[in-house]
Structure formats: C-alpha cells, structure tokens
Amino acid sequence: MIRVSRLNAGMILIVGLVTYGCSGSGTDTPSPEPVDQGKDRKAILTHWADNIIIPSYSSFKLKLDALTAKSDAFAAKPETASLVELRKAWIEAYNEWQKAELFDVGPGAKRAIRSYYNIYPTHVQGILANIENPSSSLETTVSFDRQGFPALDYLINGVGTTDAAIVAFYTAPDAGAKRIAYIKRVTEHMQSLLTAVITDWNGAYHNEFITKTGTDIGSPMGELVNGYVLHYERYIRSGKFGIPSGAMLNGVVAADKVEAFYQKDISKRLAQTAHQAVEDFFNGKSVKTDAEGPSFKSYLNALGAKDSATGQSLSKIINAQFAASKAKIDALGPDLHQQVIENNQAMKDVYTVLQKAVRMLKVDMTSAMSITITYTDNDGD
C-alpha cells in the first residue's frame, strides 16, 4: 500500500506540472484582432440592398402603378380632366425614378432599364412611326429614345399647345385610337422591365450581391461603384447640365436637350432629386428610416482615406462638394430651358462644380477603395 501511494503521488505531481505548463503557454497566445466594422463589405452591401436599393425600386413601383392606372383612365375617357391627372402621375413617377436610376448594377444593368426609361431628347419622328406600326419592337437599342418618360413627355405635353389640342390629338376619328394605344405600349413595357428587375433583386441576385464581397472587376461592389460614378458624371453632370449649356459641346448651346423638354418647369426639380439621391446613397441614408448606415462614407473613413491636397477626411471633402453643387443647382430657375436662354452661365457654373465632385468620386474615392473604373468617357478624367 505504501509503494502504491508513492506512485500515485508522483503521477499527481507530473499532471500538475503539465497542467501548469499548458496554462502558462496559453497566456502567450495573442488575442485575435478586432474586426473593423467599417470595412465589413458584406454589411455595406446588405445595407445597400435591403435598406436602399430594393426599397427605392418598391417606392418607384407604387408611382409607376399610379401612372399606369391614370394612363388607362385617360385611354378609357380621353378628356381634359383625365389628361391632367395623367400628367400629375407622370411627374410624380418621373421624379421618383430619379432616386432609383443610379442603381446601374445587376438586374437593372442587365436589362438596360435606364436606357429604356430615360434617354432624352426623345425621337419624335420615331414615336410617330411606332404609332403607325404597332408591331414595331420596343426591345431594340434604336428604340431607346422612343419610349420611357421622355416619350410620355411628348405624348401628354407636346402633341398640342393646349390641353384641348392634346385631347383632340387622341380623339381624332382615324388616328386617335392608335395614338392612345402607344401610350399603353410604353407604360406596359416600363412595367414589364421594372417587374423583372424587382423580381431578380428579391430572388437569387440578392444573395449574390451581398455575399460576393470583393472589389475586383465584375464584383457587385465594383459594378455598383462604376455605375454610381458613371451616373453622376454622364447622366447628371453632362446630361442635365453640360450638354444643354454647351459646356460639353464645345460651347454649342443646346437648350432643346434639357430633360422634360415638353414640361420644362419640372426640369430643375428632376435634377435636384437626382443629385440628392446620389448624396444620400454616398452617406448610406436608409430609404426606410432616413438614418445613415454602412456606406461609401463609412468605408472611406474606416480606410482612413484623406484628401491629398488638404489632409482632411476624403468623405468630408466629398460631402462638402456635394453641398456646393446642391447650392448651385438650387439657385437656378425651375425651367432649365429658360435658364439656358436667359442666364446660361449659371448652368455652366453648375457643370463646373459638379465636375470637381466627379474627379473626387472617379479618382480619389475609387483609388482609396482599390476599385478600377471600367467605363470610358471623353471628359479628360
């Protein structure tokens, strides 16, 4: 019994020493580095999808549904009252579209929804030809400028100088029915495109978007950044201001190329809405709550991105430039066509201040995020 007790004591001593050695070595193991939430691209992509992009399309869908209903009501009873209601619904839907147009990624890019919805100036002769040929396709690239909001602009505002004359255009004994039918064709095609885009976002693409978190060419973030910058550069800076003012056309003024040419008094409103949407997206503003979430701003801050000239936070500099651009746009008259005619320098000034933001987004922001710009433009950036 005595020999057994000594053996047990020795074993206990050995176990104790091993245990002590193991616990001592564990204290030297470094703790894992804390995850920087600002650099969590999955969180950013999820916030964009669930709180901004899909809700923006859903909000627009409500406005497009209302537009479609009013166009059907006008078709059933073409008169001044139904025309006025149709026009109101068109304005509201057109304005709401400005908030969703910038999402040129995934389903929207695949279906070229922006090109089908908002290429202006519209092609009047092409529209009239399509009216005469009901079997003409709206699915071709040549048809882009014969449909969407600009085509409806002509059809409900530009076919006559008064509401009575416009109604007469659609109640003409021989051609009226064909003309009304084209309005229906345009709205139905818009509905079809939007339904497909929303279905994809609510389906398999949603998971693809939030789980492919790289920044390489072809990644959701890479594509969205390219689409976002392109939208600001080409469709806001150039389309809404640079081309009509002549700043993009070697000084050749083109007032007739303003957005909503036949309902000119909403052209500034559309530009304001589009610019605000770009700023809100940069800051991750939720469509549901208005609160800011993961965004370009938070990501740049997490990366420690600085303005090379001043050393200030790059996101702060970009937001300051957005504010300067907004102030210039707000100072314009409501009718950008008239603005070009009466004081075109103010339009050029907007173009200039927008161009400064383009450089920040296209060069500084993308460099900080290690994202390659894959589209080309002839503005020298």
Q: How many residues comprise the chain?
A: 381
Ramachandran quadrant class, 311 (left: phi over 0; alpha: psi -120 to 50; beta: rest): left
**What is the gyration radius of the CA atoms in the chain, in angstroms?**
28
Read off the pLDDT band of 5 (50, 70, 90). very low
| 82 vs 74: CA distance, rounded Å | 5
| Proportion of the chain above pLDDT 70, given as a percent | 89
pLDDT in tens, 251-287: 999 999 999 999 999 999 999 999 999 999 999 999 9
Res 15: pLDDT: 37
When mean pLDDT is compared across 25-39, 121-135, 210-224, the lowest value belongs to 25-39
Q: Is the dihedral of CA 166, 169, 173, 179 positive or negative?
A: negative
Average pLDDT, the chain: 91
DSSP 5-41: HHHHHHHHHHHHHHHHHHHHHHTTSPPPPPP-GGG-H
CA 329 to chain centroid, in Å, comes to 19
* Residue 31 confidence (pLDDT) above 80: no
Res 377: pLDDT: 72
Domains in the chain: boundaries: 36-213, 215-381
Protein fold of 36-213: A middle domain of Talin 1 (1.20.1420)
Read off the pLDDT band of 308 (50, 70, 90). confident
Q: What's the whole-number mean pLDDT along residues 223-231?
A: 97
Q: What is the pTM of this model?
A: 0.90
